[in-house]
Amino acid sequence: MKRAEQLEEIAAYWLMRREDADWTDADEAAFQEWLQQAIVHKAVYWRLEYGWRQADRLSALGLAEEGQSLARHRRSYWAPAALAASIVLLAIIGFGGMILHSGPNAEVKIAAKAPEKAEKAASKAPGAIAWYSTPIGKRKTAILSDGSRIELNTDTVMRTSISDAGREAWLDKGEAFFKISHIPGLRFIVHAGKQTVTVLGTQFVVRRKENDDLAVSVVEGRVQIGNARSDPLSTSSIITAGDIAISSGSSTLFVHGAGERIHDALGWREGKLNFDRSTLAEAVAEFNRYNERQIVIDDPQIAILKIGGSFQASNIGAFLRLLHDAYGLKVSEMGDQVKISRP
């Protein structure tokens, strides 16, 4: 999907949400924050709003065919001419990166960072959407109104909605550890791309990768994994403590009895990265998740070297010293990158 289309979807999302009866002050604060982030946000939103109002006006005036046609399609988000205009506008002005914002029935895009005030206010309003995010190298703990605790890992974006009617979270990007409070008759559902994780009383980790692959690791209790776009009764599976489910597209691999592996992978909660016979390529990929300074390997033979150890996620220096001292590899600084090569 093109960026212009992404922005159209964001504007359409806000336009429709503002029509809902459950719109709150916190929602309005988040909307205004997004609107003020860039001139192009205002331009696209106002254009869509104008088309929306025109559809209502034409219908009210009795211009049956035209008015009904516009009214019928006003929630289709954009017309070809409007999209073409927005593409030209975006080419002139430009706008920042977007992140995935998935809902129960569809995925739309939202701005990457929600305002802190809106986040705090929304978390107190039953059923309101609360946004949480972490920059690269940082972690955050969110305490929800139902007592559940969610720890966000590096470069993560998440939304939650908690009410007596239901409890949901949307992991738009990154990784999070969930410790969900048990409430009889009220399940907790995590949406992550095409998958849903239904909590049956547990502690677990969900990691959503850039290619939209998903890994769910259960620390305690059990969870139900299902495809959000299919019949959950026919596609879901239950995994318990010590199990890992890895989903890629329509395929899911289950790994049982992986408790030690899960324990090592949770080192990030203490700021650590644990490796046990991991390839150098795997270790470098993990370090790059937590640091602005990126490590580059220029030799496939080096990439498959096996390494082990425990490191502070932010301490690239100690990791690079190990590579130099134990393997004799050459480490070269190249601006904001570090190159690893043979001596």
Domain ranges of the chain: 3-96, 126-262, 271-341
What is the C-alpha to C-alpha distance for residues 145 and 278, in angstroms, rounded to an integer? 39
Q: For position 113, what pLDDT does the model report?
A: 37
Q: For position 56, what pLDDT does the model report?
A: 52
Q: Choose which CATH entry (3.40.50.300, 1.10.3720.10, 3.20.20.220, 3.55.50.30) describes domain 271-341.
A: 3.55.50.30
For residue 201, count other CB atoms closer than 10 A to its CB: 15
Band (55; pLDDT cuts 50, 70, 90): low
What is the C-alpha to C-alpha distance for residues 314 and 319, in angstroms, rounded to an integer? 10
Please measure the distance between the N-terminal and C-terminal CA atoms of the chain and give it in whole angstroms: 44
Band (54; pLDDT cuts 50, 70, 90): low
> Mind listing the pLDDT tens digit for each residue in 274-324?
998 899 999 999 999 999 999 999 899 999 999 888 999 999 988 998 888
Annotation: CATH topology of 126-262? Jelly Rolls (2.60.120)
- Cα torsion through 324, 329, 330, 334, rounded to 10: -90
> Mind listing the pLDDT tens digit for each residue in 116-131?
444 444 444 556 788 8
**Residues contacting residue 81 through CB under 8 Å, at least 6 positions apart:** none
The model's pTM: 0.64
